[in-house]
C-alpha cells in the first residue's frame, strides 16, 4: 500500500527531465501537473525557461498534456497560449483523467510518464494507474489552501521513505 506513494523517480525540478532521457526509456508522452510542478500555484503564465522546456519536448516529438485538479479558468488560461492540451478538475488521484490523457495523446501507459509535486495526488494517481511517476520538488514553498493538508501527510510519508533508504533526495530551494 505505501509503495503506491513512492515515485519511480524524483528530481529537483521539471528542468532535470529531458527528452533524451525520456526517449531512452521509450517515453513518448508526459502527463504533468500544473501548480507547483510547472510554475508557482499563483503564477498565471509560463516562464520563458518553461516555454523553452515545452518547445524542446515538442521538437523531440514528446507529447505533453497538463492534468490539474484546478478549475477550468486557471488551467485554460495557462495552457491555451502554449497550445498544450489540458484536463481540468481531474480529481487526482482518481484514474479517469490519466486514462483520458493517454487516450487523447494516442499513447500507451508504458510510453507515458506522470510528473507532479504531490505524493497524494500525482504520484498516487499515476502509480495506481500503472504509470512511471516522477516527483519534483515544489516550485514554491507556499501552497494554496487545499494543498496544505496534503503537505502535512506528505512530509510524514517522505520522512518514512527517507528513513528506510527508499528516497535519497532532499527538499531544497535549489531550482536549477
Distance CA 163, CA 161 (A): 6
Q: Worst-scoring range by mean pLDDT, 22-31, 120-129, 163-172?
A: 163-172
The average pLDDT across 7-19 equals 95
Q: Structural domain tally of the chain?
A: 1
Computed over every residue of the chain, the mean pLDDT equals 90
116 near 32, Cβ under 8 Å?
yes
Distance CA 64, CA 84 (A): 7
The yes-or-no verdict on residue 3 having pLDDT over 80 is yes
pTM (2 d.p.): 0.88
Query: Does residue 101 lie in a domain region?
Result: yes
Query: Does residue 172 lie in a domain region?
Result: no
Is residue 5 classed as helix, strand or coil in its secondary structure? Answer: helix
Query: Does residue 173 lie in a domain region?
Result: no
Q: What is the pLDDT of residues 96-115, one digit of tens each?
A: 999 999 999 999 999 999 99
Q: What is the CATH number of the domain that holds 15?
A: 3.40.50.1000
Distance CA 115, CA 109 (A): 13
Query: Does residue 75 lie in a domain region?
Result: yes
Provide the pLDDT confidence category of residue 155 given band limits of 50, 70 and 90.
confident
Using left for φ > 0, alpha for ψ between -120 and 50, and beta otherwise, residue 127 falls in: alpha
Query: Does residue 170 lie in a domain region?
Result: no
Which of 82, 87, 100 is closest to 32 using CA atoms? 87
Query: Does residue 176 lie in a domain region?
Result: no
Domain around 58: 2-163
C-alpha cell at 137: 520538488
Amino acid at each position: 500500500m505505501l509503495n503506491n506513494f513512492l515515485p519511480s523517480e524524483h528530481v529537483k525540478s521539471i528542468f532535470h527531465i529531458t527528452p533524451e532521457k525520456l526517449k531512452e526509456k521509450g517515453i513518448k508522452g508526459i502527463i504533468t501537473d500544473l501548480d507547483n510542478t510547472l510554475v508557482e500555484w499563483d503564477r498565471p503564465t509560463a516562464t520563458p525557461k518553461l516555454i523553452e522546456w515545452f518547445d524542446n519536448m515538442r521538437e523531440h516529438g514528446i507529447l505533453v498534456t497538463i492534468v490539474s485538479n484546478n478549475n477550468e479558468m486557471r488551467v485554460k488560461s495557462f495552457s491555451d497560449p502554449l497550445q498544450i492540451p489540458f484536463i481540468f478538475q481531474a480529481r487526482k488521484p482518481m484514474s479517469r483523467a490519466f486514462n483520458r490523457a493517454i487516450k487523447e495523446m494516442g499513447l500507451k501507459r508504458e510510453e507515458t510518464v506522470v510528473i507532479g509535486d504531490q505524493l497524494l495526488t500525482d504520484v498516487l494517481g499515476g502509480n495506481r494507474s500503472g504509470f512511471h511517476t516522477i516527483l519534483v520538488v515544489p516550485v514554491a514553498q507556499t501552497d494554496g489552501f487545499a494543498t496544505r493538508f496534503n503537505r502535512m501527510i506528505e512530509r510524514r510519508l517522505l520522512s518514512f521513505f527517507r528513513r528506510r533508504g527508499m528516497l535519497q533526495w532532499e527538499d531544497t530551494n535549489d531550482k536549477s
